[in-house]
């Protein structure tokens, strides 16, 4: 298994740099196999989602679709796959950003009752609670 950095994932997904995209394509199409897969860490995945949203203006459902393709690829191992799928599902259903949904899903998996946030958009997601002045447990 070999780890994949955010920039490799982005080049493969957006095909925006002819030279680097060609190298990424060759990697994904011929070098990665089910026996020797690529590893996508949760950090690389969150960064990829952020780059797609911020730099390439992908909508939440487009980001979720890209994430789902990675999870479904037989040549990739995605860290925290169950939580990634849950976050992608929430994002696809219009429930906010993939990254925020992932934070909530990972918190839930870790045993959190909820994830506190000042972000009003994130507060609408499952697993989140808004925090306000005077908050007490």
Cα separation, 24 vs 102, whole angstroms: 25
In the predicted structure, residue 3 carries a pLDDT above the cut 70: yes
The CA–CA distances, whole Å, from 1 to 32, 34, 97 equal: 9, 9, 29
Cα separation, 136 vs 134, whole angstroms: 6
Which pTM value belongs to this model? Answer: 0.86
Residues above pLDDT 70, as percent of the chain: 96
Average the pLDDT over 70-84 and give the result.
Answer: 95
- pLDDT tens-place string over residues 93-122: 877 789 999 999 999 999 999 999 999 888
Quick one: which of 77, 85, 131 has its CA closest to 106?
85
Least confident span in 78-82, 106-110, 127-131: 127-131
Which residues are CB-contacts of 58 (< 8 A; sequence separation ≥ 6)?
52, 66
- pLDDT tens-place string over residues 15-66: 999 999 999 999 999 999 999 999 999 999 999 999 999 999 999 889 999 9
Domains with residue ranges and CATH for the chain: 2-111 (3.40.50)
Alpha-carbon torsion angle 114, 120, 124, 130, nearest 10: 30
């Amino acid at each position: 298994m070999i780890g994949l950095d955010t920039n490799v994932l982005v080049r493969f997904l957006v095909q925006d740099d002819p030279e680097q995209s060609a190298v990424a394509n060759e990697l994904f199409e011929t070098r990665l196999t089910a026996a020797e897969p690529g590893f996508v860490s949760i950090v690389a995945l969150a960064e990829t989602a952020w780059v797609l949203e911020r730099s390439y203006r992908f909508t939440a459902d487009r980001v979720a679709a890209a994430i789902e393709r990675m999870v479904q690829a037989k040549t990739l191992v995605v860290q925290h796959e169950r939580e990634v799928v849950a976050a992608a599902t929430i994002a696809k259903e219009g429930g906010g950003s993939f990254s925020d949904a992932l934070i909530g899903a990972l918190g839930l998996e870790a045993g959190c009752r909820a994830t506190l946030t000042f972000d009003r958009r994130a507060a609408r997601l499952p697993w989140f609670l808004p925090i306000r002045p005077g908050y007490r447990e």
